[in-house]
Structure 1
Amino acid sequence: MNAAPALQPLAAGFPTVAAWLDGKRAPKLPQTRADDIAAQFGLDNFGRNLLLLGAYAALEPEAGERIAALHGDPRRTAPSVGLALSQLPDAHWSALGAGAPLRAMALIRIDARDGLGGAPFALAEPVLLALLDAPSLAEELAMEARTVAPRKDLSPSRRRLADAIALRLAADSRATIQLCGLDPAGKEQAAAAAIGGDRPMFAINAAMLPNAPSDIARQAQTWHRDLLLTGGELFVDASRIADPAPLVLFAELVRLPLIIAAPDALLLGAGPTVRLDMPRLTAREQLPVWRDRLGSYAGKLNGTLDRLASQFAVSPELADSVAAELDVLAQPAAPAKKGKKAPAPDYGGIAWDAARRFARPRMDDLARRVESEATWNDLVLPPRQKAVLEAIAAQVRNRATVYEEWGFAHRAGGRGLGVSVLFSGPSGTGKTLAGEVLGAELGLDVYRIDLASMVSKWVGETEKNLRRVFDAAEEGSAILQFDEADALFGKRGEVNDSRDRMANIEVSYLLQRLEEYRGLSILTTNFRANIDPAFLRRLRFILDFDFPDAAERIEIWKRMLPQDMPREALDFGQLAQLNIAGGSIRNVAMVAAFLAANRGGDARLTMEDVRAASRLEYEKLGRSLTAAELRGWEA
């Protein structure tokens, strides 16, 4: 078998093109990159000859003068369609139709405002650069795309995904690959590693795709051309798109396999699709990543390293950010006195706080983070209820040990590993405060989500809203507190219409995510009786917050008033006669403090201030102070 002839430089074909234009006997046309590109895009001889004419006009200094002479107009230095049809061998009109490869794949640009015959044409810039063995994206694509180079230092989960992608690419290069799960940056790095350094990988954000179908079609056309010219792969990050419709249309029109990264698989109508999931590292697998990235700090964290590995979904970027934070904040403090040794920095505390802050950004866009320094001392509850809260904290803190090291996750088949709890009771009885105490105890952010605001009348929107929250929380290891749980978990009746069916689907989806979520999720309700018992059985803990009795109200009053606040002797027994819960006690105490401070000078909080503030709170609640509540107050 004879070897294929070696390709000649593009300029080697220009004498032949010049002879065509002059109507002379042309020398034999050498093999150039024009032949490769013609074969790649399915062009015939005339299509290849058009590429050569366009390159000749763009690159050869004498070309403009020769072309203008043929046109009989010194200003018309660009070749026209009519000129090509009259002077080039094997010419035919069908090669210039809108559906033919030259135009359908945007290889040439034709300015046909004054009719096709006399219209000038030029090669698209990426085509000209590819002919010169310098392939590049079009300018409008290069502005939005990044070229991602493969990295060698992949984490174990990213390396496993890269190997899986490489196998799929080798088995079927026509299939679009969907990478599902968390860690968008990790999916991008895994894809680049799978492709290797021989071919470029371009990455774009799906949110940058246009919305108009005609604009999507043009962009898909341009990507199709430039991916073939560069031999590259296109990676589309769809992790933060609200509407997948533009991406679905783009994937259909681009007519080439893509690599799409999204939390969940998308329904794409074009061509075969393969789904791969980003593997989740166990705490044991995360430890080497933390040790490698933290370097010398890893041995100074006093046990915090294991907690970091069990709590946060580590990525090299997160670990690098924590290491950079330690470089800045973990410098030894100057000794307070001469001869005294400076206290060692709290490396573990610095690393934990840094990991929590760097993991939280996506959640701040979706829910309200609760800023609180509440501790167990701020929570007045019976011992039995406090024991339940301590058990909840213990399950979150030790989940890596029980699930992974002791094998309970394998025994459960990966189901029901989330710690989901229900706090029920009247307003002001401490449900929200209990969530804040758990956050402080575990060193995790607490985010409050109004479940009623998540529910939408539009089909599928409720699940979409919930998905965004849970996906973001998985990255940030947050505690999720859903208020107004009865908005979704009300008692089920007969399914009479599509709305009832959709409500059941929404509830099922939320229960599924609660069971899958690796962190702590708290549901709160003022009306436990309104929640279907079938839903309650799916929750790990249920804790009732009862209205505080007189002894508990005394304790709440004592803890509510700051020690440094100037005050006269207060009768806490009489204060406890006010039949209000802890939330209202906090409101009364704060209003009373402002009333006292308004007197100026050496003002002190008095019982009269508390009574005046109580009247305001009772009016807000639509109640009146009773004689029993004010008994002995005048004295």
Structure 2
Amino acid sequence: MNARAPLDWTDANQQLLAAEFARLRARLSKPGSRPARHGAQQRVQARAALDGDAAIDQLTTAFGLSAFERDLLLLCAGVEMDAALADCCAQAQGRGGGLRHASFALALAALDGAHWSALSPQRPLRRWRLLDVDDAADLSTARLRIDERVLHFLAGLNEPDAHLRPLLRPAMPLPFAAPAHEAATQQIAGQIAAAHDAPLPVFVLEGDDPGAQEDVAARAARAAGLACLTLRAEDIPADAADRDALLTRWQREAVLLGAGLYVDASEGLTPAARHLVEQAGGLCLLGVREPVTLRAASRHHAVSRPQEADRRILWRQALGPEAAAHAGEALDQAASQFGLDARTLQLTAAALAPALREPGVDPHAALWQASAQASRRRLDGLAQRLTPAAGWDDLVLPDPQMAVLRQIAAHLRQRHRVHQDWGFAAAQSRGLGLATLFTGESGTGKTLAAEALARETGLDLYRIDLSAVVSKYIGETEKNLRRLFEAAEDGGAILLFDEADALFGKRSEVKDSHDRYANIEISYLLQRMESYRGLAVLTTNLKSNLDNAFLRRLRFVVQFPFPDQELRARIWRGVFPAATPTRGLDPRQLARLNLTGGSIRNVALNAAFLAADAGTEVTMAHVLQAAHAEAAKRERPLADAETRGWP
């Protein structure tokens, strides 16, 4: 970010400044006199030693200063840098022992080409805040002070404005660019080159990969011979005066540093940020998630997360040839499953590469684990991650339901082959999502089935807290859903919307604005479900609460029935772990209890605690006592038929 000039240029620049200050001292001592020949020779020698333009000449050209404005800026710099020149200013103004500073009246009397407009707000000295005018006095006698940033630039120190340092940072390019992102960079670079000296449009980078957008901005600026600095949209002040001051300082900084501006609005384009990018001028790039319309001329480019083919390329590049060769097919599987953004993918690959080069490392396990961990970072803050404990053997369901669950698992495992290798993704872009409904009363195994799917496929399982998603504020629910689904795309996690009736119920007739926005929220959800490449599992106790339009957009609907007596007997046979001491338990007798699988597990656990506290094995009596407690909880006492003949 610092652009310190070479030492030889710095020395020559300092010599030229010294010669210019000597010339000004002579003018103040003898107003109207011609420059001394010796001083003129010093300036010629200093310019000859310069490799490029002196700092004062760069400023003069960049900001269009007149000869008088140039000398006035040098006079204000000399007061700070040359004690003798400060003394001359004091003597010329009759203040030999007082304040030593430059004033406009002094400059008008002593410098050639003087014009009153030099200090008008529209002229460069004040327009670009090269000078500040002390408001405590009238314009002609007020103290003129050179801006500290400009003073340092004149001295050969080209460092960012201290007022901007807390807000700006160098844009962070990535080691590698996905082919789609490189194409966007080349398009922008071409548009910049084609503009020549004409004003540039705002380049809007739209998509869900802020890291890649910043990389594209940095690469495009570099292609134009410019540095690139990043400013977060939320850091731009809302107050108009503060925002205008920031804008002016940035526009000046863009000239002094030779830089473009990237405004990161990935968290939302604030009104203040919109105003700034519309007024910024120069090279300005804006990163947003959703398309935006600006009042300024703009060019729009899609920069989203890399697609699967580009992810494979990035994995190979970031791992390096040796580690990528060791990874083999595991690399393709990771690229297919985990939709990581460009920056996260490359950071994960760089950290994993040394391990993959070690002999004996299982590349599939290493890649899968590293990718899964990277994909959890955002989603962990939005939903509850569940550790799957159940497998296929733990599910006790009728054969048709088990067959559908195995189909769902097959869809998850074979997605890459069917979508990519067999061409379904190219043939149809919509409807490839795997939205599934589990319906049945509480305790019939819906959550257990989701756990079994996660364990079978090796995917993460997240339970969604609908109370944290649905908002009473218009538009907030869609925003929450967008964040949720975008975070889930990182790893294709299984999303479990438990007890989803609250959000996915029958869409209402529009009677007021709240009904209209509620329907918009549901429509947005359906759209995200269709486009989500993972499995979204919705559970409900009452299928009748869901309307037909919603059901048509689901890939699978699995009905979890209340278990019959045969299924209940199978559940009772496996509900107690092998280490649990039992005596005289009769699964057929226990199966007469009209309980769901979830209630059976509750009864078994409570019976185990009763037996442990009594210091005996688990018996039918313990189970009966626990069953009565479970029935009381449900406010449905056990029927005589359920316990008749109980030992």
* TM-score of the alignment, normalized to the shorter chain, above 0.5: yes
Q: Deviations over 1:314-350 (max 9, x none)?
A: 5365255245346459967xxxxxxxxxxx4433212
2:629 matched residue in structure 1: 616
Once residues 159 and 310 of structure 1 are traced to their aligned partners in structure 2, the CA distance between those partners, rounded to angstroms, is: 21
Q: Deviations over 1:493-538 (max 9, x none)?
A: 4333322322222222222222222222222222221111012112
Q: Deviations over 1:590-610 (max 9, x none)?
A: 3333333344xx543333333
Once residues 637 and 279 of structure 2 are traced to their aligned partners in structure 1, the CA distance between those partners, rounded to angstroms, is: 69
Give yes or no for contact 1:224–1:254 (8 Å, CA) kept in 2.
Answer: yes
For structure 2, the residue ranges without an aligned partner over 5 or more in a row are 1-9, 45-52
2:263 matched residue in structure 1: 236
2:50 matched residue in structure 1: none
1:626 and 2:643 equivalent? no
Q: Deviations over 1:447-488 (max 9, x none)?
A: 222335423333322221111112222233322222343334
Which one of the candidate residues 80, 84, 100 is aligned to 1:58?
A: 80
Q: 1:313-328 maps to which residues of 2 (within 5 A)?
A: 313-314=339-340, 315=342, 317-322=344-349, 324-325=351-352, 327=354
Shift of 1:373: 3.0
> 1:257/1:618 Cα in 2 relative to 1: closer, same or farther (>3 Å)?
farther
> 1:192/1:243 Cα in 2 relative to 1: closer, same or farther (>3 Å)?
closer
Which one of the candidate residues 217, 223, 230 is aligned to 2:244?
A: 217
1:339 matched residue in structure 2: none
| 3-state secondary structure, aligned to 1:629 | helix
1:107 and 2:130 equivalent? yes
Letter of the 1:225 partner, please give it: R
Give yes or no for contact 2:173–2:214 (8 Å, CA) kept in 1.
Answer: no
Which one of the candidate residues 50, 53, 77 is aligned to 2:100?
A: 77
2:3 matched residue in structure 1: none
Which one of the candidate residues 478, 487, 492 is aligned to 2:507?
A: 492
TM-score normalized by the length of structure 2: 0.85
Which one of the candidate residues 12, 21, 25 is aligned to 1:14?
A: 21
| 3-state secondary structure, aligned to 1:624 | coil
Letter of the 1:397 partner, please give it: R
For structure 1, the residue ranges without an aligned partner over 5 or more in a row are 1-6, 333-343
Once residues 619 and 141 of structure 2 are traced to their aligned partners in structure 1, the CA distance between those partners, rounded to angstroms, is: 96
Once residues 526 and 408 of structure 2 are traced to their aligned partners in structure 1, the CA distance between those partners, rounded to angstroms, is: 18
Give yes or no for contact 1:181–1:262 (8 Å, CA) kept in 2.
Answer: yes
Q: Deviations over 1:345-383 (max 9, x none)?
A: 433212211111012211112222222232212222222
Shift of 1:415: 1.9
Q: 1:453-472 maps to which residues of 2 (within 5 A)?
A: 453-472=468-487
TM-score normalized by the length of structure 1: 0.87
Tell me the matched-pair count.
613
Bigger shift: residues 382-391 or 608-617: 608-617
1:309 matched residue in structure 2: 335
User: What is the alpha-carbon root mean square deviation over aligned residues?
Assistant: 3.2
Which one of the candidate residues 379, 387, 394 is aligned to 1:371?
A: 387
Q: 1:324-339 maps to which residues of 2 (within 5 A)?
A: 324-325=351-352, 327=354
1:351 and 2:376 equivalent? no
Which one of the candidate residues 149, 154, 157 is aligned to 1:126?
A: 149
Q: 1:31-70 maps to which residues of 2 (within 5 A)?
A: 32-70=54-92
Give yes or no for contact 1:297–1:347 (8 Å, CA) kept in 2.
Answer: no
2:284 matched residue in structure 1: 258
Once residues 418 and 345 of structure 2 are traced to their aligned partners in structure 1, the CA distance between those partners, rounded to angstroms, is: 25
| 3-state secondary structure, aligned to 1:112 | coil
Once residues 183 and 436 of structure 1 are traced to their aligned partners in structure 2, the CA distance between those partners, rounded to angstroms, is: 30
Q: Deviations over 1:519-576 (max 9, x none)?
A: 2222222222111101211222222222222222222333332222233332222332
Once residues 61 and 586 of structure 1 are traced to their aligned partners in structure 2, the CA distance between those partners, rounded to angstroms, is: 89
> 1:165/1:477 Cα in 2 relative to 1: closer, same or farther (>3 Å)?
farther
Letter of the 1:139 partner, please give it: A
Percentage of matched positions with identical amino acids:
41
Give yes or no for contact 2:131–2:144 (8 Å, CA) kept in 1.
Answer: yes
Shift of 1:202: 1.0
Give yes or no for contact 1:136–1:226 (8 Å, CA) kept in 2.
Answer: no
Q: 1:86-101 maps to which residues of 2 (within 5 A)?
A: 86-92=109-115, 94-98=117-121, 100-101=123-124
1:401 and 2:420 equivalent? no
> 1:368/1:82 Cα in 2 relative to 1: closer, same or farther (>3 Å)?
farther
Letter of the 2:191 partner, please give it: R
Once residues 106 and 301 of structure 1 are traced to their aligned partners in structure 2, the CA distance between those partners, rounded to angstroms, is: 57
Shift of 1:263: 2.1
Letter of the 2:159 partner, please give it: S
Letter of the 2:292 partner, please give it: L
Give yes or no for contact 1:360–1:476 (8 Å, CA) kept in 2.
Answer: yes
Give yes or no for contact 1:126–1:226 (8 Å, CA) kept in 2.
Answer: no
1:336 matched residue in structure 2: none
Shift of 1:384: 1.4
Shift of 1:232: 0.5
> 1:106/1:574 Cα in 2 relative to 1: closer, same or farther (>3 Å)?
farther
Which one of the candidate residues 505, 524, 532 is aligned to 2:547?
A: 532
| 3-state secondary structure, aligned to 1:202 | strand
2:162 matched residue in structure 1: 139
